[in-house]
Structure 1
Amino acid sequence: MPNDSLFGVHGAALAVRSQRMGVLASNIANASTPGYKAKDVDFQTALAAIETPGGSSDAAMDAATLYRVPLQPSQDGNTVELATEQTAFAENAVAYQTTLSFLNGRISTITRALRGE
């Protein structure tokens, strides 16, 4: 996704944040699953991979998805730490909403310009 598009880097950022939200939600949903390994997405790595020529969202997410190292490993092999996941999810949700608000403002500005307002 080139930087010279109408929405710049924000369109790619919204896609990465959306996919990261899915990864974090999966971690939270599997907090009690024995042997489940928590994952997270390195936002900067994913965004950089998407912005490279020919970069796809799926390839970027694969390259930027890493296993989380737990602070306190559980007996059943599950590496999800619920407080950590909930905090990361909330922070990502705020960043997602901020990016979405920026894009909405940009669309609104373009719409007003097209109407001649």
Structure 2
Amino acid sequence: MNLFGGTISKLENSLNYAAMKNNTISDNIANADTPGYKAKDVQFKNILDDTLTSSIQAKRTTEKHIPFNSNQNSSYRVVSQSNTMYNHNGNNVDIDKEMTELAKNQIYYNGLIDRINGKFGSLQTVIRGGN
């Protein structure tokens, strides 16, 4: 039995995603002048894709086929963006884009914190008996 209905665990997963995205953006900003550095991004796996691939019974006929089951424990992953080059030194960090992403992620993170504080406030009210 899940005491909190899964909301707190979903908020926790979202906070973990936001923290990972913040770390990745910070790494990109810190390496903006590093020759050959390729910008990284954190991507959510699409829940619809997960649902579809788990319900489809597919068969690989050769080893060259992409497997349908990915056994990753987290719902996000860090990927390098190696298909672009902005600077003459092979670096593809766009500092303006990274700063915008950092601001968006901070707003997202703060919203999650407000939401989880509200959940804990509601629990605290219930525990105190409505006082």
Post-superposition Cα deviations, 1:11-35, rounded to whole Å, max 9, x if no partner, equal 1111111111000000001111111
1:1-117 alignment runs, 5 A limit = 4-42=5-43, 44-45=44-45, 56-57=73-74, 60-61=75-76, 64-68=77-81, 73-117=86-130
- Structure 1 gaps of 5+ residues are 49-53
TM-score under structure 2 length normalisation: 0.69
Alignment RMSD: 2.9
Query: How much does 1:56 deviate?
Result: 3.2
Q: How much does 1:67 deviate?
A: 1.9
| Matches of 1:47 and 1:106, distance apart in 2 | 24
Work out the CA distance in 1 between the residues paired with 2:94 and 2:127: 49
Whole-angstrom distance in 2 between the partners of 1:47 and 1:4: 19
SS at match of 1:41: strand
CA distance in 2 between counterparts of 1:47 and 1:24 reads 23
Per residue, is there more helix in 1 or in 2?
1
Give the alignment's TM-score, normalised by structure 1: 0.77
Q: Distance in 2 between matches of 1:20 and 1:5?
A: 23
Q: Which has the larger radius of gyration?
A: 2
Q: How many residues align?
A: 107
Distance 1:66 1:15 in 2: 17
